[in-house]
Amino acid sequence: MLKKFFKSFNRLWQESLKIFHFITNARWLILGSFTGILSGLAAVLFFFGVEGAKFLLLHTLAGLSLPAPSGEEIFHSHASLTASKPWLIPLFTTLAGLITGLLLLRFAPKSLEGGTDGTDSMIKAFHQQDGIIGLLAALVRGGTSILTIGAGGSAGREGPISLIGAGIGSFLAQKLKLSPQERRLLLLTGAAGGLGAIFRAPLGGALTAVEVIYREDFEAEAILPAVTSSVVAYTIFTLVFGSDPIFNIPDFRFSDPRELVFYIALALFCAFAGQFYVKTFYFIKYKFFWPLKEKIGMPFTLAAGGLLMGILGMLFPQLLSGGYGWLEMAIWGKLSLLTMLFILIGKTIATSITLGSGMSGGMFAPALFVGGMSGGIIGYMGQMFFPQIITQPGAFVLVGMASFFAGIANAPIGPLVMVCEFSKGYGLLAPLMLSSAICLVLNRNISLYENQVHNKFESPAHFDEAAINVLENLQVKDYYQPKRVSTFEEFTSFPAMLDVVAHSNDFYFPVRGKDRVITGIVSVQDLRRVLFEDVLKDLLVAKDVARKPYTVTTEDNLYTALIKFLESDFGQLPVLSPQDPTHIVGLLAREDVFKALHKKEH
């Protein structure tokens, strides 16, 4: 009897293995489900850690009473408040920054190069790292995010949990020895599970994960495993924390076509606020904290960011942590116009300080926060002057959340669906679609995520597809930009190089050596790295900062050029005459290769 049982079990196992290996959809269904289980468990632990840290540090020790959204009152509803000690907040955030810096320096020193936040690190791993994310680095980032958000840093949970989920997917793919293409898909699958669970929006989380990696495209092959993972992770998360959405939202309905005029105004305002949000973040990060990091090191830079954030949070508690409670108050009309405007500006600056300094956390939640306040300002102003038209100003808060994020992250579908899941219906679908589309068009030239690429043609993840054959049949001479190219001599001084750069529209400059042979290439980025080195920069010459020269001739094909772009990471290559290797006839830009490929493929 026992022998018969094991024989039947073995037959079933072999049949299952056959299905796994040879039926693609079944394979991804299994992988998506398993990844979703792990991502869901990770989301439960991460969410509990963040809320527990906030309760301990901000509520119990600092004595603050911060509003929580209705679906997240896991600690808030049964706790007595101690005497208020707001002076503890700068202490908490400074220590959080210092500890984060020390941990990252020890366990994940390259994590600050990942981009904007955890989501951006996931995007970078997809495009540039063959879908490989170190699980330890992802977990360290997740742990330090708990510390940052719990201490009051202006950051969200979504970036870290998407990185943790992506790290889980990448780890599984490596253990299963999957191909680089499959590894990338499982990376997105893990991120979708994390997002779907933490937002309690399984479809919106899955769609956001597969579209946020591009500006004008999405990863269609990842949809099946991403949705599966998101649903499984969401199910596990709601078994622990309940299935109520994050926000308690009235039954909003779009019924008056005249409201569309105000939703257009909302889109215009969100587009403007989005540009302010992104540009403020990049300015504070690269103009203030990066030069500071070069001078005092990573841990003390993060501590400085924590101190500044803590002072802001001590003075204005509305800026602390994610702030979803304030967002729900805006939906219900419990915040004044002036308060919403103040929070919009303050949250932008606070988030830029927190994440720009290098502390851990996500940009997603603060972006929804700022977008919601932007929508609230337009909605309640509209009701003030046109009460007969704007009867549900709180609906503008929800539409502002989706439109704002669509504009700055170039991800119109996922956030739109997510808001519909928040509101448990599609009553606002028309204004959501209109406002998101307008924001997307107006903010097409900016992106919250530094590693986001325009489409599959610009992603190294897809270079091994049909593009190779197409590019081998196209020649550089038909696509380069003929022009006079500025060059440096090997001993051109640093000030002289800056003067040439200031009067040129190019970003890459060949360096000539003996007999005018090209011995290197200097990029604007190379010069920017040493711009703040006051002691060295006056001693440097072009030869010191030049990188290995990569050039093409007019007779080379575009595939050869593409390989050189990948090897060098340059954005432009000098084009030489095949008869005279010292004669530069123009420049070939990386965009020229992608445009040629796109034109031929269509």
- Residue 22 pLDDT: 46
Contact 144, 347 (CB under 8 A): no
- Residue 6 pLDDT: 54
Contact 388, 351 (CB under 8 A): no
- Residue whose token pair is 């490929």: 597
List, for residues 408-447, the tens digit of each pLDDT value: 998 888 888 888 888 777 888 899 999 999 999 999 888 8
Phi, psi of 233 (to 5 degrees): -65, -40
Amino acid at 498: L
Find the distance separating the first CA and the last CA of the chain, reported in whole Å: 64
Rounded CA-CA distance 470/483 in Å is: 26
Question: What pLDDT band is residue 544 in, cutting at 50, 70 and 90?
Answer: confident
**What is the longest distance spanned by two Cα atoms in the chain?**
88
456: its two tokens? 């599959």
List, for residues 361-397, the tens digit of each pLDDT value: 888 889 999 999 999 999 999 999 999 999 999 999 9
Sheet holding 584-589, edge to edge: 481-482, 584-589, 572-576, 552-553
Which three-class secondary structure state does DSSP give residue 156?
strand
* H helices present in 316-428, as ranges: 324-331, 337-356, 364-385, 394-409, 413-422
Contact 57, 154 (CB under 8 A): no
347: its two tokens? 């949250």
Number of helices and strands (H, E) in the chain? 24, 7
Task: Lowest mean pLDDT of 18-22, 389-393, 531-535, 562-566, name the range.
Answer: 18-22
- Residue whose token pair is 């005249």: 258
Rounded CA-CA distance 448/219 in Å is: 19
Rounded CA-CA distance 526/545 in Å is: 7
Residue 140 has pLDDT above 80, yes or no: yes
Residue 496 has pLDDT above 50, yes or no: yes
Rounded CA-CA distance 194/43 in Å is: 6
Contact 547, 522 (CB under 8 A): yes
Residue 92 has pLDDT above 50, yes or no: yes
Burial 368-391 (b: 16+ CB within 10 A, else e): bbbbbbbbbbbbbbbbeeeeeebe
Q: What size, in residues, is the chain?
A: 602
Phi, psi of 484 (to 5 degrees): -85, 125
189: its two tokens? 């699958």
For 69-82, what is the mean pLDDT? Answer: 63
List, for residues 254-281, the tens digit of each pLDDT value: 888 899 999 999 999 999 999 999 999 9
Residue 315 has pLDDT above 50, yes or no: yes
State percent of the chain over pLDDT 90.
42
Question: How far apart, in Å, are the Cα atoms of 354 and each of 62, 138, 153, 281, 368?
Answer: 19, 19, 6, 10, 16
Amino acid at 503: H
Residues in contact with 548: Cβ distance below 8 Å, sequence separation at least 6, in sequence order = 520, 521, 568
Burial of 441 from C-beta contacts in 10 A (0-12 / 13-18 / 19+) = exposed
Phi, psi of 557 (to 5 degrees): -90, 165
List, for residues 288-312, the tens digit of each pLDDT value: 998 898 899 889 999 999 999 999 9
User: Mean pLDDT across the chain, nearest whole number?
Assistant: 86
Structural domains in the chain, CATH included, are 21-241 (1.10.3080.10), 259-442 (1.10.3080.10), 463-601 (3.10.580.10)
Residues in contact with 105: Cβ distance below 8 Å, sequence separation at least 6, in sequence order = 298, 299
Contact 215, 453 (CB under 8 A): yes
Rounded CA-CA distance 112/363 in Å is: 14
Which three-class secondary structure state does DSSP give residue 508?
strand
Rounded CA-CA distance 417/398 in Å is: 11
- Residue 370 pLDDT: 94
